[in-house]
Amino acid sequence: MIRETAYHEIFDSQRHFRTLLDAMARPGKIDRFAPVAITPPPPLTNAAACTALALLDSDSTFDAASLGPDAIRYVQVNTGARAVPIAEADFVFLDGGDVASAERIAAARAGIPTYPETGATIVLQVSRMSRSSGAGGLELTLSGPGIETTTHVVINGLQARNLESLARRNREFPLGVDAIVTADDGGIICLPRTTRVSWATV
Amino acid sequence: MIATRKFEHTYNFAFIDERTKREIRRKILKAIAIPGYQVPYSSPEMPIARGWGTGGLHASLSIIGPDDVFKIIDQGSDASVNACNLRDFVRRMTSCRTTFDTAEATLIQTRHRKPEEILTERQIIVFQVPQPEPLRSVERYEFKTRIMHAEADYAKMWVALYESYVKFGAIMNGAGYPVRVNGRYIMTPSPIPRWDVPNLSMAPCLHVFSAGREKRLHCVPPFTRVEPLEFEDVKFRVEEFREIVCAASGGDRAFMDEIYESESTRKFVINDSDFLDKVRLGQRPPQRLFQNPV
C-alpha cells in the first residue's frame, strides 16, 4: 500500500481545508482542490482522498466499505483514522452513482439533539459537476444559509435516490448529515444539512 | 554565563500542532453546517492566558495560510495592546503579511467590533468571544442550557428581555445583544455593540466566533439570516449618534467612542481606527447602515 509522500501535511492540508471551508460556507459553489500528486486506489478519487487527508486523523473514524478494501487501507495508512461500522463513523465515503448508497446514507449517524455536530460527514463521489451543461445529469437547485437567493449546479454520476435519502436524513434540523460532493475532475461542492435541495433531470 | 535557550527552537507553522488544528478545522466545518450552534472544541494551551483572545487565535491559526493577509483589531482599534501583541505573535508564527487596511485583509480577527467597512466574499472574520452562551444569564447550568438549545426552548430569554423592558423602559442589553440565527438557534454575537448586530445578517463574509476559555466555537455563514430578538411592539434599535461628528475627522454615521476631556466637556471619535483613517483621507468606504424604526 502506497504511503503518500508528496502530500505536505502542513501546507497542502491547510490549502485544502480552506477550499472545504469556502465550499461549506457557500453551498453549491464549485471549488477545486489545489493539485497535489497523490495516487489513491480506484474507485477512491483524488478529491475524496484530498478531503480525507485534510480532515482525518487518528481521532476520527470513517467508513469506506462500499469503496472496497484498498480504499479503506489507503485512508487508514495515510491518515491513521480508524475504520468502523457505518453507524459509528464520523466520515462516510460513498459512491454517488450507486443506488445502494441511499441505504448507507440512511444508516449514517445524524447526531443527537444536545450534540448535533456528531452527525456524520458524507463524502459523496460523483463523476462531474458544472454550473450549467451536463446532459444526463441532475440539475440541483439549492437554497439556505450561505446562498444569497438560490443557486444551481449540474451533477453527473449522482443518483436521485441518494439525494432523496440525504433530504430524508436532514429533515429534522439540527440533526442530520453534511455532504461533501467530490467529482472525478477535482471539483467539490458542499451540501450542509441546512441546504434545501430540489432536483430535475437535465 | 547561562545562555537563554528557551526561545531558540522553532515552532510549527501557525504555532498549533497539526493534529489539533485538524480537530479545530473539523469543528469549524460542523459549526458552519449548524449556524449558531456552539460546537465544543479542544481549546489547546496557548502562550497567553485563556480569556485574552485564545479562542480567536485557535480559529485564526487553524484557518491561516502563508498567503493570507492578517488584520487584528481590539474594540475597533489596530493599535491597542491586545491587538498589537496578538498580531506580533501571529506574524512571528506564520510570517504572514499583516495590515491595518480592512479591505486588503483576507483574515480579520476582532475583539468586540465588526469593522464598519463592508466585508467581502473573500474575507473571513474571527471574533474573540468571552461568553458564548446567550442563556447563561438566565440559566447557570451548562447541561440545562444545552437541553434548552436542543428543544429551542427560549422562553426564559424572552422573559428576561420583557423584564428588562418593564423595569427600565427599554431592553437594556447593550453589547452582545442576543440574536436568532437562521430562525433556529439563539446566539450571542460576542460583545459587539448593537450598532454591528444588523451587519451580521446576510453578509457576504464568513463569521467565526470562538471562545477559548469556554472551549466552544460557533459560526454565522455568509448570507444567513441573523435577527436580533425583539417584540412586535418593542423593536431592536442601534445606538444613535444624533448630530454628533467625529472630533478627529469630522465624519459621522459610524460607531463613536465617547471621550471625556474634563469634568464638563466630552468629544466623540470614530471607533474603527482604519475607518477613521480613511474618512480623514476623504475616502469613505462602503458601509451598511441600519435605520432605527420610528
The verdict on B205 and B269 lying in the same domain is no
Residue B155 lies in a domain: no
Residue A172 lies in a domain: yes
Residue A177 lies in a domain: yes
Given phi > 0 = left and psi -120 to 50 = alpha, else beta, which region is A29? beta
The verdict on B78 and B32 lying in the same domain is yes
Contact A16, A50 (CB under 8 A): yes
Q: Please tell me the predicted confidence (pLDDT) of residue A162.
A: 96
Give the DSSP letter of residue B293. Answer: P
- Nearest one of B272, B280, B284, B279 to B78, comparing CA atoms: B272
Q: Please tell me the predicted confidence (pLDDT) of residue B4.
A: 63
Q: What is the pLDDT of residues B240-293, one digit of tens each?
A: 998 999 999 999 999 999 999 888 889 999 999 999 999 999 999 999 999 999
Residue A189 lies in a domain: yes
Higher confidence at residue B2 or residue B290?
B290
Residue B240, SS3 per DSSP:
coil
The verdict on B129 and B107 lying in the same domain is yes
Which of B178, B194, B226 represents a domain boundary (last residue)? Answer: B226
Q: Which residues of A62-89 are buried (b: 16+ CB within 10 A; e: fewer)?
A: bbbbbbeebbbebbbebbebbbeebeeb
B67 Cβ partners below 8 Å, 6+ apart? B96, B106
Cross-chain CB nearest to A116 (options B37, B62, B182) = B37
Cross-chain CB nearest to A117 (options B34, B121, B221) = B34
- Residue B187 host element (H or E): strand B185-187
Which of B195, B226, B257 represents a domain boundary (last residue)? Answer: B226
Domain containing A173: what range?
11-127+160-195
Q: What is the pLDDT of residues B99-128, one digit of tens each?
A: 999 999 999 999 999 999 999 999 999 999
Residue B108 lies in a domain: yes
Residue A101 lies in a domain: yes
Closest CA in chain A for residue B12: A10
Residue B13 lies in a domain: no
Residue A46 lies in a domain: yes
Q: How far is B121 from chain A (nearest CA, A)?
A: 9
B23 to A25: CB separation less than 8 angstroms, yes or no: no
pLDDT at residue B62 greater than cutoff 60: yes
pLDDT at residue B1 greater than cutoff 80: no
What number of other Cβ atoms are within 10 A of residue A93's Cβ? 30
Total domains, chain B: 2
Q: Please tell me the predicted confidence (pLDDT) of residue B5.
A: 63
- The mean pLDDT value for B10-15 works out to 89
B23 to chain A, any CB pair closer than 8 A? The answer is yes
CATH number of the domain that A181 lies in?
3.40.50.11310
Cross-chain CB nearest to A9 (options B18, B37, B63) = B18
The verdict on B192 and B254 lying in the same domain is no
Residues in chain B: 294
Whole-angstrom CA distances from B289 to B123, B273, B292 are 20, 18, 10
Closest CA in chain B for residue A53: B22
Q: How far is A55 from chain B (nearest CA, A)?
A: 6
Residue B39 lies in a domain: yes
Residues of A in contact with B23 (CB under 8 A): 57, 59
Q: Please tell me the predicted confidence (pLDDT) of residue A1.
A: 58
State the count of interchain CB pairs (< 8 A) between A and B. Answer: 105
Residue B202 lies in a domain: yes
Cross-chain CB nearest to B29 (options A20, A60, A147) = A20
Closest CA in chain B for residue A191: B33
Residue A76 lies in a domain: yes
B217 to chain A, any CB pair closer than 8 A? The answer is no
Residue B114 lies in a domain: yes
| Mean pLDDT estimate for chain B | 93
The verdict on B269 and B221 lying in the same domain is no
pLDDT band at B59 (very low <50, low <70, confident <90, very high): very high
Residue B149 lies in a domain: no
Task: Map grid coordinates 453507524 to a residue.
Answer: A87
Domain containing B86: what range?
18-136+160-226
Q: What is the pLDDT of residues A93-139, one digit of tens each?
A: 999 999 999 999 999 999 999 999 999 999 999 999 998 876 788 99
Cross-chain CB nearest to B37 (options A9, A26, A174) = A174
Residue B35 lies in a domain: yes
Which of B201, B226, B251 represents a domain boundary (last residue)? Answer: B226
CATH number of the domain that B40 lies in?
3.40.50.11310
Residue among A117, A121, A180, A193 with most chain B CBs within 10 A, to mutate: A117
B65 to A192: CB separation less than 8 angstroms, yes or no: no
Q: Please tell me the predicted confidence (pLDDT) of residue B173.
A: 80
Q: What is the pLDDT of residues B155-201, one digit of tens each?
A: 999 999 999 999 998 888 888 899 999 999 999 999 999 999 999 99
pLDDT band at B8 (very low <50, low <70, confident <90, very high): low
Contact B35, B224 (CB under 8 A): yes
- Nearest one of A95, A20, A57 to B30, comparing CA atoms: A20
Walk along chain A (202 residues) in steps of 10 and give the mean pLDDT of each run: 86 96 97 94 95 96 96 96 97 96 96 97 96 83 96 95 96 96 94 96 85
The verdict on B219 and B90 lying in the same domain is yes
Cross-chain CB nearest to A25 (options B146, B182, B221) = B221
B9 to chain A, any CB pair closer than 8 A? The answer is no
Q: Please tell me the predicted confidence (pLDDT) of residue A202.
A: 81
Residue among A194, A195, A196 with most chain B CBs within 10 A, to mutate: A194
The verdict on B59 and B201 lying in the same domain is yes
The verdict on B37 and B122 lying in the same domain is yes
Q: How far is B25 from chain A (nearest CA, A)?
A: 7
B18 to chain A, any CB pair closer than 8 A? The answer is yes
Contact A124, A63 (CB under 8 A): no
The verdict on B59 and B101 lying in the same domain is yes
Inter-axis angle of helices B18-33 and A11-25, to 10 degrees? 10
Give the DSSP letter of residue B24. Answer: H
Q: Please tell me the predicted confidence (pLDDT) of residue B174.
A: 80
AA identity, residue B203: A
Whole-angstrom CA distances from A184 to A38, A60, A163, A181, B183 are 14, 25, 19, 10, 36
Total domains, chain A: 1
The verdict on B130 and B260 lying in the same domain is no
Residue A179 lies in a domain: yes
- The mean pLDDT value for B82-90 works out to 95
